[in-house]
Amino acid sequence: MLLRKKASNTRKNLQKTSDDQSACSMAQVKAFAQTCFDKASGSHDWEHTLRVVRLCEVIGAAENADMDVLRVAAYLHDIGRGFQDASNGEVCHAEKGAQMAGPIVEKLPLTNSQKQNIIHCIRSHRFRNHHKPGSPEAKVLFDADKLDAIGAVGVARAFLFAGEVGARLHNPDLDAENTRPYSVDDTGYREFKVKLCKIKDRMLTAEGRKWARERHAFMHDFFNRFLAEYEGKR
């Protein structure tokens, strides 16, 4: 009986040690990621990352994703964003983030395939780069990141970003499709017309598509109302 009790206690201690190490590793990942946003603009700040993490928790559970992979990838997905903003879009933040994440991901107590998957998730989460999300975890992260760009939060972020680049409120005399990003013409409405209105049709998971339909409907109604008010019709 005593031997069995000691063995049981040993297993519990090992489990506790393993759990503590995992928690510490995740804490380190989170702490490292947060430092990458010290000088971030409000539209792509640490709060955006935390919202994406929360969405990943919900969508990932519904899609049976590997949450050890998904949580790490979600915390790290935008760590290269500052380089893209500083270059006015010349640097791809997904590519840069995957490079930056390599050293810390390598130290995690995960399998090689899990580590490779995390890097793949980060590299493929961007809307317009050449890497297509292939794993279930990459698809969940892609959808979570895009969901935060639409709906009420998406509208708020679109106008916040426009303010950050010095754009006007609206430019009704210009075709939104033929205006330049990171310019005075990069308005919230331009963001909607060029990118945000197309997001719901690019979702990759069943759960993501469900969320996107509702958020898209709100955003669509908002911008119709915005144009009506701008033109003095409402």
Q: Which residues contact 155 (CB under 8 A, 6 or more apart)?
A: 188, 192, 219, 222, 223
Q: Would you list the domain boundaries of the chain?
A: 13-131, 149-234
232: left (phi over 0), alpha (psi -120 to 50) or beta: left
pLDDT of residue 85: 67
Whether the pLDDT of residue 184 is over 50: the answer is: yes
Contact 165, 182 (CB under 8 A): yes
Whether the pLDDT of residue 4 is over 50: the answer is: no
Whether the pLDDT of residue 1 is over 90: the answer is: no
Measured in degrees and rounded to the nearest 5, phi and psi for residue 211 equal -65, -40
Averaged pLDDT score across all residues of the chain: 86
Whether the pLDDT of residue 128 is over 60: the answer is: yes
Cα dist from 147 to 15, 73, 215, 219, whole Å: 36, 16, 8, 12
Identify the CA nearest to 153 among candidates 216, 77, 84, 213: 216
C-alpha span between 99 and 92 (Å, rounded): 11
Higher-confidence residue of 132 and 8: namely: 132
pLDDT of residue 12: 39
pLDDT of residue 81: 80
Summarize pLDDT for 50-71 with one digit per residue, the tens. Answer: 999 999 999 999 999 999 999 9
- The reply to whether 13-131 and 149-234 are identical in fold is no
Assigned token pair, 21? 């190490």
DSSP 6-75: HHHHHHHHHHHHHHHHHHHHHHHHHHHHHHTTTT--GGGSHHHHHHHHHHHHHHHHHTT--HHHHHHHHH
For domain 149-234, give the fold. Answer: Methane Monooxygenase Hydroxylase; Chain G, domain 1 (1.20.58)
Mean pLDDT of 84-104: 79
Contact 172, 111 (CB under 8 A): no
Of the listed ranges 20-29, 78-87, 137-146, 151-160, the least confidently predicted one is: 20-29
Q: Binning pLDDT at 50, 70 and 90, where does residue 92 land?
A: confident
C-alpha span between 173 and 6 (Å, rounded): 78
**Buried/exposed code over 17-55 (b: 16+ C-beta within 10 A; e: otherwise):** eeeeeeeebeeebbebbeebbeebeebbbbebbbbbbeb
H-assigned helices in the chain: 2-35, 46-62, 67-76, 81-86, 93-106, 112-124, 136-147, 151-164, 188-194, 206-230
pTM of the model: 0.83
CATH number of 13-131: 1.10.3210.10
pLDDT of residue 23: 39
Mean pLDDT of 141-150: 96
Identify the CA nearest to 52 among candidates 132, 154, 187, 193: 154
Whether the pLDDT of residue 95 is over 80: the answer is: yes
